[in-house]
Amino acid sequence: MTNHYDALGVSRNATPEEIKKSYRKLARKLHPDVNDAPDAADRFKAVTHAYEVLSDPQKRQVYDTTGNENGNSNGNGAGNYDGQGFAFQDIFETFFGGSGQSHGPASRTRRGQDALITVRVELAEAVFGVNKKLEIDTAVTCTSCDGDCCRPGTHPITCDVCHGSGQIQRPMRSILGNVMTLAACNSCQGFGTRIEDPCNECLGEGRVRSRRTLTIKVPAGVGTGTRIQLAGQGEAGPAGGPAGDLYVEMKVSNDPNFLRDGDDLHATLSVPMTAAALGTELTLETFDGEQPISIKPGTQAGEVMTLRNLGVTHLRGYGRGNLLVHVHVETPTKPDAAQEELLKQLAALRGETFTEGKLVSSGGMFAKLRDKLGNL
């Protein structure tokens, strides 16, 4: 496990101000938006986690004592347990509503919440990937007080009720008689200090609502429901706390010409009846530009031609899906007299006989069926 003090580059005796200053310096340096090194995101997460532990007096005390923020000195999950598998401290809290030991004042600094937004992309953008510029409304660290919550030039004062401990003792009657329990100080809400002169900009919150612009890289191959995690781009935490993560969920728009099925694309190509019968060369407009399509003589309606590697880029892996072209043969709906006469001549040459507009004899399917029935 990475030593939290080493991660922040401070000594074990560093003051809270030194820890906060070092974190902000490293966060600006390692943030994925400004640092494209392969390990920048992992280092940013490690620095943020280290700050979450060391900026909280209670967590820091536990970490300094046990070397583990979970409070387990041996790292196997064992804590202050008796031989039967339960802790005496848990019993104490169950009966008396407090803790068997003082944990010190609470920290105002907390991690911000994660945020989720939806971004719509066109199918062509999903095929190749795209950079999207977003405007998001979120909580950001107050620039007036730099997250300290106090009006510039002032500082929190030590609570005169709990004298900075964040806790007070109070008597409580129990089955064992009167006992003293610890509770959060009502005067300072357990923080050990009070902000007498809060920042006018953020009203003592250490953060404000603001709209900011963010450019994200949408990778090729995303689909509706795909989520991208942006570390440290969510809501800024109270009192200068680290920001949460931003999750960007994709919604791919329908395309008028192509239908997506996984990483394959489907398109319909309309071909005149004569072209399907005689064969021809056509072009199809795709996301990769115009592609030649060879229609063989006698092509039937519903035939499918596959254009390889012209589909959607695989999100995980290499290569692309295919483009499947479905042939639709166009039949004349309202032929004029000349066209109708030519169609009748074609039918006669094919051995097809029409009576009152009905096909009654054909050298094709009907002839085969007649011969089969005649042999029964």
Residues at the binding site for Zn(2+) are 142, 145, 159, 162, 185, 188, 199, 202
Selection from 259, 253, 228 nearest residue 321 by Cα: 259
Estimate to the nearest angstrom the gap between the alpha carbon of 315 and the chain centroid: 14
Compute CA distances 96 → 91, 104, 180, whole Å.
9, 18, 9
The C-alpha atoms of residue 210 and residue 111 are separated, in whole angstroms, by 18
The C-alpha atoms of residue 163 and residue 157 are separated, in whole angstroms, by 10
Alpha helices in 14-110 (DSSP H): 16-30, 40-54, 57-66, 88-96
The C-alpha atoms of residue 69 and residue 4 are separated, in whole angstroms, by 10
Binding residues: 142, 145, 159, 162, 185, 188, 199, 202
Residue with token string 């340096």: 29
- Cα dihedral: 255, 260, 263, 265 (round 10): -80
Estimate to the nearest angstrom the gap between the alpha carbon of 238 and the chain centroid: 23
